[in-house]
Structure 1
Amino acid sequence: MNHRKEAPRPDVSAVAALDEPTRRRLYDHVVRQPGPVSRDEAAETLGLARKTAAFHLDRLADESLLDVVYERRSGRTGPGAGRPAKLYKRSRTEVAVSLPERHYELAGRLLAQALEESEATGEPVRAVLHRKAHELGAQLAAQKGTDVFALLEGNGFEPRYDGDAIVLGNCPFHALARDHTQTVCGMNLHLLQGVLEGLDERCFQACLEPSPGHCCVRLRPASPPPAGTR
């Protein structure tokens, strides 16, 4: 059997970069400062060689943990003012890693959108939530442009075949689904129905079939149309 070797996820790589003690000290120093920090300032404060500080700061920037900006620290402009200094500051990129994979922010956005639209239109919250989840599933399918198994795998559902069906070994909304089962599992069902529709995947249908150790949704082979219909 061939096992596909996947490249590390960017967020995992970013967190791994902070495992190096000197790099972590530099990161902590930069993000605690009120303004951007130069290589010389960081090196002097932490007692490092400038080359060492520069190497680790650039690695943090490569991982999108820090942003790079260029400013003239002398305050002078025009000829003779010198080259702008390379400075580092906290990145706006948010990095989060969870094992198993969770997507609570996605669930939170859907629930907030449903509540706001329901208040504005009078449509029941659950109906709006199901529609928004379905739309998001279709959007994910359009963005990824791949097959359903790969899309589910890429979004943390841990799919695997069980005969002709696909079971999902992980629920990205596990804690929410445990405490608010009907709401979250219904949202998840419509999300995956949207994925199937967006991929024009007619071989499977998403069904609610909760079972221990699995996501509440299972993809079963689609029922064939009744005889005489198209």
Structure 2
Amino acid sequence: MGHRSHPDAVTAIAALADTNRRSVYEFVLAAAAPVSRDDVAGALGMVRGTAAFHLDRLAREELLTVSYRRLTGRSGPGSGRPTKLYAPTVREVSVSLPQRHYDLAAELLAAAVDESARSGEPVQETLSHAAAQAGRAIGAEGALEDSLARYGYQPVREDDGSIIMRNCPFHRISKTHTATVCGMNLDLLAAATDVAGQSGSTAVLDPAPGRCCVRILPPPD
């Protein structure tokens, strides 16, 4: 398997949207040592080939690392082929500056994929619903600017009363999937603005270098 230096975050998220594959990933995360296909199949009640399929997909997305080891403890002729083993790999450090929230993006995208599979709605529509739901929860946490700051947006109120976001919590994904992430940000911030009691304020797309693509406009005079 060739190594990719810049794995696509969105395809990795999509890989985890499958319920069975997510169960496989969670089992490997919880394991005390690298696991084999047989380990996963036995623990989760899967056919070995199905377990292998999910494990290899996770490895392709660089969510798991692969190693080979003879489990018999023997070596040399007659010792058998080495067993393929899987272990978690760290894709993100836990703290980053400026603040990022790829975990939130992953939850929204996975929820959108799951809902699309259940309802038959286009993923873009279900993502809009998921982002709005998250925005309502964020807006209900308290004062709008304080709540947005907790999620890494770095809101700044300008002289005209509008609010810009100095940071995009989903920056790395937005570089390659701009329309998807900007739409997600707009739906989230519009819902947060409504719930936070910013009567008459409106979230609009207003992209500019060095900041989030959304601006919150003050109520019209």
Task: Name the structure 1 match of 2:95.
Answer: 97
Query: How far, CA to CA, are the matches of 2:98 and 2:177 in structure 1?
Result: 19
Give deviations 1:52-86, integer Å, cap 9, x for gaps: xxxxxxxxxxxxxxxxxxxxxxxxxxxxxxxxxxx
Identity %: 42
Q: 1:136 aligns with which of 121, 134, 137?
A: 134
Query: How far, CA to CA, are the matches of 1:109 and 1:190 in structure 2?
Result: 15
Query: How far, CA to CA, are the matches of 1:172 and 1:102 in structure 2?
Result: 4
Correspondence 1:1-230 to 2 at 5 A: 96-142=94-140, 144=141, 146-163=142-159, 164-223=161-220
Letter in 2 for 1:211: A
Letter in 1 for 2:95: V
Query: How far, CA to CA, are the matches of 1:161 and 1:116 in structure 2?
Result: 37
SS at match of 1:186: helix
Deviation at 1:222, TM superposition (A): 2.7
Whether the 8 Å CA contact 2:138–2:148 is kept in 1: the answer is: no
RMSD: 1.5
Query: How far, CA to CA, are the matches of 1:107 and 1:162 in structure 2?
Result: 27
Letter in 1 for 2:218: P
Deviation at 1:97, TM superposition (A): 1.0
Whether the 8 Å CA contact 2:153–2:167 is kept in 1: the answer is: yes
Query: How far, CA to CA, are the matches of 2:171 and 2:124 in structure 1?
Result: 19
SS at match of 1:167: strand
Deviation at 1:159, TM superposition (A): 1.1
Aligned length: 129
Query: How far, CA to CA, are the matches of 1:223 and 1:157 in structure 2?
Result: 24
Runs of 4+ in 1 over 2 A off after TM superposition: none
SS at match of 1:194: helix
Letter in 1 for 2:166: G
Query: How far, CA to CA, are the matches of 2:158 and 2:200 in structure 1?
Result: 15
Deviation at 1:162, TM superposition (A): 1.7
Letter in 2 for 1:96: S
SS at match of 1:201: coil
Deviation at 1:101, TM superposition (A): 0.2
Give deviations 1:183-212, integer Å, cap 9, x for gaps: 011001100111112212214211100001
Deviation at 1:155, TM superposition (A): 1.4
Gaps of 5+ in 1: 1-33, 35-94, 225-230
SS at match of 1:182: helix
Deviation at 1:150, TM superposition (A): 1.1
- TM-score by structure 1 length? 0.53
Deviation at 1:139, TM superposition (A): 1.1
Letter in 1 for 2:136: A
Query: How far, CA to CA, are the matches of 2:132 and 2:220 in structure 1?
Result: 21
Query: How far, CA to CA, are the matches of 1:99 and 1:204 in structure 2?
Result: 29
